[in-house]
Chain A
Amino acid sequence: ETGVTQTPRHLVMGMTNKKSLKCEQHLGHNAMYWYKQSAKKPLELMFVYNFKEQTENNSVPSRFSPECPNSSHLFLHLHTLQPEDSALYLCASSQELAGRTYEQYFGPGTRLTVT
């Protein structure tokens, strides 16, 4: 599927590095999301953007910094990460109407390893 793309697909970084994850959606949606998926843990919603405005931040540490310059692009800036931040980071998009969330479409994810 090419509706939601993510780059890079794999990333290895040291704890002192700074890197960014990129997500782009080609579906004309107005909402975008970052999720964290760790082994043996439920999917964790990190951030929600609706019409480029951040509408949800689920107590995510400040070492993760999202950016949404327009409704098609979403970034996750990473700095001074910890080994426990190693996970699959998934981006998704959806159409939100009248306060309800419809189906979300996911990108393939970025597998992040923090050494």
Chain B
Amino acid sequence: AQSVTQPDIHITVSEGASLELRCNYSYGATPYLFWYVQSPGQGLQLLLKYFSGDTLVQGIKGFEAEFKRSQSSFNLRKPSVHWSDAAEYFCAVGGNKLVFGAGTILRVKS
């Protein structure tokens, strides 16, 4: 069965600092991996996706994620965080269905 773990419930970073959100997955075959972002009261927006090929994927809003098969991880990164990045971030693994992690709430302090 698929599963996703996001170890950090909350993360606070200063504006302009770098960001890394952790995601570990469990899936028996080659996974499809996704990161979504959700602002309060809104739906989830797809940030980026990994299906195959280059393990470093670029997404929207300056985000990137790296697939590491040996660590079963798909961590999300951004070199310089903006106040508008404050939101909740969800990692998901796709197989015969999409399974979401519990989310990480990002706070940005000025």
Contacts and interface: CB of A to CB of B under 8 A. Distances in A.
Interface of A: 1, 4, 6, 42-43, 45, 48, 56, 88, 90, 92, 94, 99-109, 111
A106 B44 contact: yes
Interface of B: 32, 34, 36, 41-46, 49, 90, 94-98, 100-103
Contacts of A56: 97
B42 to A, nearest CB: 6
Contacts of A90: 43-44
Contacts of A99: 96
Contacts of B94: 100-103
A102 B94 CA distance: 7
Closest 4 CB pairs of A and B: A106-B43, A106-B44, A108-B43, A43-B100
A108 B44 CA distance: 8
A69 to B, nearest CB: 22
9 contacts: A1-B45, A56-B97, A100-B32, A101-B95, A101-B96, A101-B98, A105-B46, A109-B43, A111-B41
A81 B46 CA distance: 31
B98 A94 contact: yes
A108 B40 CA distance: 10
Contacts of B42: 108-109
A88 B42 CA distance: 9
Given A109-B42, A109-B43, A111-B41, A102 B32 contact: yes
B93 to A, nearest CB: 10
A111 B40 CA distance: 11
Contacts of A4: 43
A26 to B, nearest CB: 14
Given A43-B90, A102-B32, 17 more contacts: A6-B43, A42-B103, A43-B100, A90-B43, A92-B43, A94-B98, A100-B32, A100-B94, A100-B96, A101-B95, A101-B98, A105-B46, A106-B36, A108-B42, A108-B43, A109-B43, A111-B41
